[in-house]
Amino acid sequence: MQVLVVEDEKRLAQALEQILTEKKYMVDLAYDGRDGFDMAVSGIYDVIILDVMLPAMNGLEVAQMLRKEKIATPILMLTAKDQVADKVAGLDAGADDYMTKPFSPDELFARVRALTRRQGEVVIEEMTFDGIKLNLSTCDLSCNDRSVHLNFKEFEIMKILMSNPQAVTTKDDLIVKVWGYDSNAVDNNVEVYISFLRKKLEFIKANVEIISLRKVGYRLEGKANA
Ligand code: CA
């Protein structure tokens, strides 16, 4: 789960980052509305926590512009105490929920969880491609009666490749979606995980391989079609 926090009060932003990171969320921070919009429009986040009063562009404008760009990421708007007008305006602008400052970590988790659940209403348990199955709750990859467990990053990469089997996924795409927008991950990290995945595909005797397209990216292909 990747969360974007757009909040100009740095201490609050960092506190949010800390409590969300402890709960295993991946967190990116933006300190003004313009940066927040630029990051959010990538569409990689599962939830956006968005303050209303922000420099460069306020939270209402950010929410409105994101919805105009067809970015449907759930938005949790932060409002100062008693600014009822902000709450109404926030929901009108496209926010999904709001939370009044100050708030407790418990309230924050409850709201973030509710928003991610809402987004995941259609629960897909399993993805399949040419005889291989990826179980989305156990992170096990299997083919016939052979099965192997994927670690978090292998799982995330496999999920992206399987949801896009006909298309090429670029290394940059994988870095942003799996390591995060601000990460220092490089092409080499991706190659290492792709090689782990290839070994695991071999181990389960999958009839599927990850094809490298030099300087472009990766694609999943059935061996019969190769
Ligand atoms: Ca603020």
Tens digits of residue pLDDT in 160-199: 999 888 789 999 889 888 887 767 777 788 999 999 999 9
Specify the CATH class of 126-222 in words.
Answer: mainly alpha
Alpha helices in the chain (DSSP H): 10-22, 33-40, 59-68, 84-93, 105-119, 152-163, 171-174, 187-203
pLDDT at 6 over 70: yes
Reported as a single tens digit per residue, the pLDDT across 48-92 is 999 999 999 999 999 999 999 989 899 999 987 667 777 778 778
Ligand 1 mean position, distance from CA 152 (Å): 34
Q: What is the pTM of this model?
A: 0.56
Per-residue model confidence (pLDDT) at position 27: 94
Ligand 1 centroid, distance to 153 Cα (angstroms):
34
Q: What is the pLDDT of residue 118?
A: 60
42 Cα–ligand 1 center, Å: 23
Residue 37 has pLDDT above 90, yes or no: yes
Query: What is the distance in A from the centroid of ligand 1 to the CA of 115?
Result: 22
Nearest to 187 by CA among 207, 161, 214: 214
Q: In which band, very low, low, confident or very high, does the pLDDT at 225 lie, cut at 50, 70 and 90?
A: low
Distance 24 CA to ligand 1 centre (A): 25
CATH of domain 2-118: 3.40.50.2300
Give the N- to C-terminal CA distance of the chain in Å, as an integer: 34
Q: Which residues contact 119 (CB under 8 A, 6 or more apart)?
A: 46, 47, 73, 74
What residue ranges of the chain are covered by domains with CATH 3.40.50.2300? 2-118
Residue 134 CA, ligand 1 centroid: distance in Å? 42
Burial of 88 (0-12, 13-18, 19+ CB in 10 A): exposed
Residue 128 neighbours by CB distance under 10 Å: 10
Start-end ranges of CATH 1.10.10.10 in the chain? Answer: 126-222
DSSP state of 168: P
Q: Which of 138, 174, 161 is nearest to 208 (CA)?
A: 161
Share of the chain above pLDDT 90, in %: 56
Q: 178 CA distance to ligand 1 centroid (A)?
A: 29
Which letter, b or e, does each residue of 164-178 get, where b requires 16 or more Cβ atoms within 10 Å of its Cβ? eeeeebebebbbbbb
What is the CA(165)–ligand 1 centre distance, in A? 42
pLDDT of residue 65: 95
Ligand 1 centroid to Cα of residue 179, in Å, is: 28
Report residue 60 as tokens.
Answer: 């209402």
Least confidently predicted of 20-24, 39-43, 209-213: 20-24
Longest Cα–Cα distance of the chain, Å, equals 63
| 155, burial (CB in 10 Å: exposed 0-12, middle 13-18, buried 19+) | buried
pLDDT at 184: 77
